[in-house]
Amino acid sequence: MKHKITLAIAATLALATAPTYAQWYAGASVGKSDITFDNAAQSDQFLDLGFPNPGTVSSTRDTGYRVFGGYQLHKYIAVEAGYVDLGKFDFRTDVSPPPGSLSGSTRISGFELSALGLLPIGDKVTAFARVGALAGETKTAYTGTGSIQVLIGGETQKRSSTQLVYGAGLSYAINNRLAVRGEWSKYTKLGNVLTGGQTDANLYSLGLVYRF
């Protein structure tokens, strides 16, 4: 009996001191987002319509954020789901003669699901890479002035699609529950010609992760 008690105590101590990898977590991050936008291609559409001097300007950077939750299955593997809002991006094409302009404001958001590969570096730092899919919506609101008028029913254009997302980052454990995470995420093939053109997007973010 004494021998069995000793083994039970030893097993309990081993479980208490061993690292626990199967764990739920949640977090949020915020940072800078950017997209690719082809000003020349946008202007060329107006050349094809007979406007001799189109010019396009665009704002391709904004603030984006993610809220997410996940489950660490193993020391080296986790799965994660979340919602991302990449912000709002504006563009405007001016034409002359006759003078007019078309303005567009695009917002990109959606839900994502990813698998993470984890690489612990010492006791507190973990590098990770992730790959998954974004079920997202690219939505553009248009307004026109002068010689460029938006047709009724065409003021808002949307495209919903599921596309590849991947990224990488580092996390630093402040304590057993709380960590700081910095990461880069890449979102591919968002939108279409009706929303201002297909684009890729990046999000560079910093956030906090809480382990339950």
In a domain, 144, yes or no: yes
In a domain, 11, yes or no: no
Provide the pLDDT for residue 21.
66
Provide the pLDDT for residue 20.
54
Assign residue 140 the CATH number of its domain: 2.40.160.20
Listing DSSP states for 116-144 in one string gives EEEEEETTTEEEEEEEEEEEEEEEEEEEE
Q: For residue 5, count other CB atoms closer than 10 A to its CB.
A: 9
In angstroms, rounded to a whole number, what is the distance separating the alpha carbons of residues 27 and 171?
12
In a domain, 77, yes or no: yes
Query: Cα 164–128–124 angle (5° rounding)?
Result: 155
Direct distance between the N- and C-terminal alpha carbons of the chain, in angstroms, rounded to an integer: 37
In a domain, 192, yes or no: yes
Domain count, the chain: 1
Low-confidence ranges of the chain (pLDDT < 50): 2-18
In a domain, 160, yes or no: yes
In a domain, 16, yes or no: no
In a domain, 86, yes or no: yes
Structure tokens at 46: 């107006």
3-class DSSP assignment, residue 170: strand
In a domain, 14, yes or no: no
Give residue 56's domain range.
21-211
Query: Are 81 and 69 a contacting pair, CB within 8 Å?
Result: yes
- DSSP H helices, the chain, are 2-17, 39-48
